[in-house]
Amino acid sequence: MPFRRPLHALAIAAALLSALAVPAAAQTFSAPQRGEIETILREYLLKHPELLQEVLAELEKKQAVVEAEKAKLVVQSQAATLFNSPRQVVLGNPQGDVTLVEFFDYNCGYCKRALTDLQDLLQSDPKLKVVLKEFPVLGEGSVEAARVAAAARMQDKTGKKYFDFHQRLMTGRGQADKAKALAAAKDAGFDVARIERDMGGEEVRASLEESLRLAEALGLNGTPSYVVGSDVVIGAVGRDALKQKINAARCGQTSC
């Protein structure tokens, strides 16, 4: 039978912890009494260490709520750059009622696996706007590939050729770098000589810096990371979880 802690014991422990936390100017316990209380709490926690796991789990829940609220405020304050920057790739419906932003790295294995999630969402949801932002965090090869991608974006305002390039590079074998990115761009029909000229330009530098600033403001520490509506989603959570977030942004429920 699983352990069930007496409710009165928890209540007593909570009351004692609360009393010990009272500011010094309002203390009602003498030093010996405080020592006895601390001993009781220590013995109780040693006998029931699972209580600490529950406390930590509850703390993590509260911290997650706080972080989610902070992220929403950042999304609101950065909305123009996040959803409508001229330095981004837009797929799907440019006038969609919900926007999904993906921060990705071409050398991220989880991003590669999550590509099918993005493809499925684009095919199944005609009202979805998707924004892609390069977030190269996995080394010099990733930075080089991102620079090629940003330069390629300058040749394609529609995003169609870019997405072809994007899929080729994401599904390619081995580590992405400048050579592999240029090869993918050539196969997708881009002017590779122009890409090589543009890679060192101000527009490419500004594009990548913009994405990095947004990621830092949002507290992103890995890829893939998403913004769906006003929510930040960390990790390759899968198509169904993303769809639920899209529905929540669209109609306030996980299923519309």
Identify the residue with better confidence: 135 or 11. Answer: 135
Specify whether 12 is located in the same domain as 100.
Answer: no
The domain tally of the chain equals: 2
Least confident residue range of 1-15, 76-90, 129-143, 168-182 = 1-15
d(CA 186, CA 79): 33
The predicted-structure confidence for 10-40, as pLDDT tens digits, reads as follows 555 555 555 555 555 455 667 777 777 778 8
- 1 has pLDDT over 60: no
Question: How, if at all, do strands 128-134 and 98-104 pair?
Answer: parallel
User: What is the residue-averaged pLDDT of the chain?
Assistant: 86
The phi and psi torsions of 231 (rounded to 5 degrees) equal -100, 145
Specify whether 42 is located in the same domain as 112.
Answer: no
Q: Note whether residue 74 is domain-resident.
A: no
Specify whether 19 is located in the same domain as 135.
Answer: no
Specify whether 243 is located in the same domain as 126.
Answer: yes
The predicted-structure confidence for 149-163, as pLDDT tens digits, reads as follows 999 999 998 889 999
Q: Note whether residue 12 is domain-resident.
A: yes
Q: Note whether residue 2 is domain-resident.
A: no
Specify whether 110 is located in the same domain as 231.
Answer: yes
d(CA 203, CA 26): 61
Q: Note whether residue 256 is domain-resident.
A: no
Specify whether 223 is located in the same domain as 161.
Answer: yes
Maximum mean pLDDT: which of 12-26, 78-92, 137-151:
137-151
**CATH number of the domain that 227 lies in?**
3.40.30.10
Specify whether 151 is located in the same domain as 219.
Answer: yes
Identify the residue with better confidence: 138 or 11. Answer: 138
Specify whether 97 is located in the same domain as 220.
Answer: yes
Q: Model confidence at 69, in pLDDT bands (50, 70, 90)?
A: confident
Specify whether 88 is located in the same domain as 199.
Answer: yes
Contact call for residues 104 and 111 (beta carbons, < 8 A): yes
Sequence letter at residue 222: G
**DSSP letters along 110-156, please?**
HHHHHHHHHHHHHHH-TTEEEEEEE---S-HHHHHHHHHHHHHHTT-
Specify whether 145 is located in the same domain as 38.
Answer: no
Specify whether 94 is located in the same domain as 221.
Answer: yes
Q: Note whether residue 65 is domain-resident.
A: no
Q: What is the mean pLDDT of residues 170-192?
A: 95
Specify whether 116 is located in the same domain as 230.
Answer: yes
Q: Which domain does 24 fall in, by range?
A: 7-48
Closest Cα partner for 239 from 128, 151, 87, 138? 128
Q: Note whether residue 58 is domain-resident.
A: no
- 246 has pLDDT over 80: yes
Q: Note whether residue 184 is domain-resident.
A: yes
pLDDT at position 51: 77
